[in-house]
Structure 1
Amino acid sequence: MPEIQLGAHTIRSHGAQVARFHMHDWLILMLLVVIEIILNIIEPFHRFVGEEMLTDLKYPLQDNTVPFWAVPLIAIILPLIVIIVFYFIRRDVYDLHQAVLGLMFSVLVTGVITDAIKDAVGRPRPDFFWRCFPDGKGVFHPVTRNVQCTGLKGIIKEGHKSFPSGHTSWSFAGLGFLAWYLSGKIRAFDRSGHVAKLCIIFLPLLVAALVGVSRVDDYWHHWQDVFAGGLLGVTVASLCYLQFFPPPYDVDGWAPHAYFNMLADSQNANQSSSTNVNALTVRQLEFDSVYIRSPRNDNAQDSSSILENMESGRRN
C-alpha cells in the first residue's frame, strides 16, 4: 500500500491542478446537460394505442409521492453532502474531485440514456386514459380505433414516457454511487465480519428502491419500467465508480486511482532526482581523479628532473 498523506492535498494547494487535468471531463458533463435538456424538449414517439388496449391504462391520474424536484435532492445533493463530509475529514482534494466527477457522470449518463429510451419507445403510462381523455369520454379514429386525445398537450406528452422510470434510474444512479463510495470509505469488505457496515451500504439502495416502488403506487409506471430503471441506474453507477476508484474489497479501495497515481509520480520524481545527484557526484570524483593523473603534471616532473641532472653535471 502506498504511503498515506492525509491532509497534504487540499482544494487550495492542488484543486486548480486537478481541475485542469480533468478539464475535458467537465466539458463532456456540460455537453451531457445540453443533451438532457434537448431530450426533455423533443416530442416522444406516440405509440399506437387502440381502444381495446386502454383496459390496462385506466388507472387514476394522481400526484407524485416523490415530486420531480425532489429527485435531484435525493440523487445528487444527498451524495454530495456525504462526499463533502469525507473531504473535511481527510482533506484530500483528489478524493473530493473524483467522487464529485464520478457522481455527476453517473447521474447524467443515466439521465441521457433513460430519456433517450423514453422518447424512442413511447410506452403509455398506466394512467394514460385520463391523460388522453380528462373528461372520461374516449375519442377514437373511425378506422384504426387509435386514440385521438382531447387533453392538454403537455400532460399527454408525459403520458408517452413510461419506459423506463426516470425517478428510479436517477435514484439508483446517485444513491448506487453513494453505496459504492461508502463501502470503500468504511472498508466494508475488509473481511472483519462487521454486518453493521453492510447495513450502512444497503441504506442508500433501500431509499432508491422505495422511490421506485412509489412510482408503481402512484400509477405513473408499470413494474417493468421501475425494474429496468433500477437496473440501468445501478449499472451506470457501478461503471462510473470503478472508473475513478478501485473496487471496495481492494486493499487500496479507500482512495481514488488519481491519488495513488500522484503518489507514484512523486516517488518516481524523487528517485530520479536522487539518481541525478549521485551521477553528478560520481562524475565529479572521476574528474578529480583525471586531473590528478594529468599528463601535464607528468611532463613537468620529467623536465624538472632533467634540469636537476644538468645542474649537477656543471657543478661536477
Structure 2
Amino acid sequence: MLGIFTGAGVHFSSINFPLIDRKNEKDFRMREVQLGSHTVKSHGYTVARTHMHDWLILILLVLIEIILYIIHPFYRFVGKDMMTDLRYPLKSNSVPVWAVPVYAVLLPIVIFLFVYFRRRDVYDLHHAVLGLLFSVLVTAVITDAIKNAVGRPQPDFFWRCFPDGKDVYDQLGNVICHGEKNVIKEGHKSFPSGHTSWSFAGLGFLSLYLSGKIKAFDRAGHVAKLCLVFLPLLFASLVGISRVDDYWHHWEDVFAGGLIGLTISTFCYLQFFPPPYHPEGWGPYAYFRSLEESSAGTQADNAQDTCNVQSTEAQVKNEEGQSCHGCIGFSIG
C-alpha cells in the first residue's frame, strides 16, 4: 500500500484516500491501453469470490422477497363512506408484471455487457451487475414490506371486493368481500407502487451508470448527453403514470415508489462507482484501485532494481576501500 508523503511533490495515496490523487491522472490515462488485462476469464472468479458474501446476501434478499409476496397484507378497515374514492373500474395492467424485470434488470445488464465487450473490464461488469441487483432487490423488499404493513386499498378496490357490484358490510361497517381471494389480497397493496419503485431502482441505476460512462457532467457543455441520461428516468416515470391511469394506484403511491427506487439506486451505485460528476466517474473504484496497486508494484520493482545496481556499485567501492551510503537496507561487511 502506498504511503503518505509530505514536502516537495506532495501527494496522497489514492488507496487510502480514493480518487484524491490528481498527480497520477496522466499515468492512469496512459494505463488505459492495458484494458483487457482484467477479463471475466482471467479475473472473474477472483472478483466474484471477493464479493462472495454480497452474493449470499442477494440470495437472502430473494428469499425475503418471496416471503413478503406470499404473506397477507394488513386488511385495514374499509367503510361504505370510503368507497367513493375506491370505485374506479378494474382494469388490466398496461405494463404487465413480467415486463418489469425485463426492462429494469435484463436491459441494463445487456448494456453492461456491451460496455464490457468494448472495455474488457471485469470490475466494471461485476460491480455494475451486483449494484443493479442490490438496487432492485433492496427496493423490492422495502416496497413489499411497506405494502404489507400499510394495507392501503387500491382505487379499484370496490370491484375487487364486490365483483357483482353488490356491496355487503358487517355490523361495524367494514366490508365483507366475496371476490377472488388473490384479487382482494392484491387490492390491499396500494402503497407504495411496486411497478414504479422497481422501475426507478433499475432504470435509475442505469441512468447513473450511463451518465458516468459518457461523462455527462464533464463541464464541456454537451447538453445532448443529458438526453441519454434522462431517457431511462422518463420511461420509469411513464410506467408510474400508467399505474394511476390503470387505477391500480393513487398518485401518492406512485410518488413514494419512485422516491424509494431512486434513493436506493443512488446509494447502491455510489457503493461501487464514483459520482457521475467526478473526473473518474466513468469507472468503478475497484478499477482505479487495481491501477494504483499495479503502479505501486511497478515502483517497488524499479526501486528494487535501483537498489541492486547501487549495491553492486557499493561492493565495487568497498573493494576500493570506500563505504556505501547510498542504499538503505544493505550493509557492507
TM-score, with structure 1 as normaliser: 0.89
State the partner residue of 1:240. 268
Structure 1: segments with no counterpart, 5+ residues: 295-316
- In structure 2, what is the Cα distance between the partners aligned to 1:288 and 1:121? 84
1:91 is the counterpart of 2:157 = no
Of 272-281 and 226-235, the range deviating more from structure 2: 272-281
- In structure 1, what is the Cα distance between the partners aligned to 2:223 and 2:307? 55
Partner of residue 6 from structure 1, selected from 35, 40, 44: 35
- In structure 2, what is the Cα distance between the partners aligned to 1:202 and 1:178? 10
Higher relative helix content: 1
Q: Which amino acid aligns with 1:90?
A: R
Amino-acid identity (%): 65
- In structure 2, what is the Cα distance between the partners aligned to 1:205 and 1:246? 20
Work out which of the two has the higher radius of gyration on C-alpha atoms and give 1 or 2. Answer: 1
Partner of residue 31 from structure 1, selected from 49, 60, 78: 60
Residue pairs, 1:142-221, within 5 angstroms: 142=171, 144-221=172-249
**Deviation for aligned residue 1:287:** 5.1
The 3-state SS of whatever aligns with 1:187 is coil
State the partner residue of 1:69. 98
1:128 is the counterpart of 2:120 = no
CA deviations on 1:81-103 (whole Å, 9 max, x unpaired) are 11111111111111111111111
**Deviation for aligned residue 1:271:** 2.0
The 3-state SS of whatever aligns with 1:189 is coil
**Deviation for aligned residue 1:273:** 2.9
Structure 2: segments with no counterpart, 5+ residues: 1-24, 323-333
**Deviation for aligned residue 1:6:** 2.2
TM-score, with structure 2 as normaliser: 0.84
Residue pairs, 1:224-239, within 5 angstroms: 224-239=252-267
- In structure 1, what is the Cα distance between the partners aligned to 2:308 and 2:71? 68
Residue pairs, 1:114-125, within 5 angstroms: 114-125=143-154
**Deviation for aligned residue 1:7:** 2.3
**Deviation for aligned residue 1:13:** 1.4
- In structure 2, what is the Cα distance between the partners aligned to 1:140 and 1:165? 28
Q: Which amino acid aligns with 1:200?
A: L
The 3-state SS of whatever aligns with 2:271 is helix
Of 106-115 and 2-11, the range deviating more from structure 2: 2-11
Q: Which amino acid aligns with 2:167?
A: G
How large is the Cα RMSD of the aligned pairs?
1.6
State the partner residue of 1:249. 277
- Matched residue pairs, number? 293
- In structure 2, what is the Cα distance between the partners aligned to 1:195 and 1:269? 41
State the partner residue of 2:12. none
**Deviation for aligned residue 1:190:** 1.1
- In structure 1, what is the Cα distance between the partners aligned to 2:142 and 2:95? 21
- In structure 1, what is the Cα distance between the partners aligned to 2:305 and 2:220? 46
State the partner residue of 2:251. 223
**Deviation for aligned residue 1:78:** 1.0
The 3-state SS of whatever aligns with 2:274 is coil
1:266 is the counterpart of 2:275 = no
